[in-house]
Amino acid sequence: MTDEKRGKVAAALKAVLNELDIELDWVNEEGTQAFEAGDYQRVEEAVQRGRQIRGFREKVASLETEWQTLRESLGEPSEETPSRPRTPRSRQSTGTLREAYRVPILQALVEMGGKARVREVLDRLHDLIKDQLNEYDLATVPSGAIRWRQRVYGTCNWMREQGLMRDDSPHGTWEITEAGRTLLAKARSDQ
């Protein structure tokens, strides 16, 4: 079978992961709207749905890693082309991927002394990533919020779960952890 006729399993798995990120963003948006409306039953439902989707996403991510390991163990070339490495980049149809916000959020927090008000972090973050944002990112969602900002809120929740941001910071404040500083230093050294 020629290379151009071979399947693109890695690309398909990445596409599924991207779609799951979009679904998680939608659930986060629904949860935010429910919280703002004081509808705590809907908030709990959104939390449960988010946990289920996140669990499924973790399984798909594991399959993606397993597939890459399998290909490498068979001595097959990566499905990625050298001219297009897998990095979290924006796509016109889906917007900037959640992973693309992680390092800039950490960078903004470090620049601001490790802890700052959410609004200030969002303003600094916008300066850092404005060239990556596309039309989809800049559109408003039904609640009236700007989509990229909603995605950042979801990303920060995810980062808290990963231990990159403190989960006990005062309301309206984001704060980096030592693990977040370590990840940022590693990301900078990899550049």
**Do residues 14 and 68 touch, judged by C-beta distance below 8 A?**
no
Could you tell me if 50 and 125 lie in one domain? no
CB atoms within 10 A of CB 29: 20
| pLDDT of amino acid 88 | 42
| pLDDT of amino acid 79 | 52
Could you tell me if 118 and 153 lie in one domain? yes
Could you tell me if 124 and 168 lie in one domain? yes
Give the whole-angstrom CA distance, residue 46 versus residue 54: 12
> Nearest CA to 13 among 50, 51, 57, 71?
57
| pLDDT of amino acid 58 | 86
The range of the structural domain enclosing residue 17 comes to 3-73
| pLDDT of amino acid 85 | 36
Q: Looking at the domain assignment, is residue 153 inside a domain?
A: yes
Q: Looking at the domain assignment, is residue 61 inside a domain?
A: yes
Burial of residue 174 (number of CB atoms within 10 Å: 0-12, 13-18, 19+): buried
Query: Which residues in the chain land under pLDDT 50?
Result: 1-2, 5, 80-93
Strand partners, 23: none
| 165-183: pLDDT as tens digits | 998 988 889 999 999 999 9
| pLDDT of amino acid 77 | 59
Alpha helices (runs of H) in the chain, residue ranges in sequence order: 9-36, 40-73, 99-111, 118-129, 135-138, 147-161, 178-190
| pLDDT of amino acid 69 | 82
Question: One-letter amino acid identity for 91?
Answer: R
Q: Looking at the domain assignment, is residue 145 inside a domain?
A: yes
Q: Looking at the domain assignment, is residue 92 inside a domain?
A: no
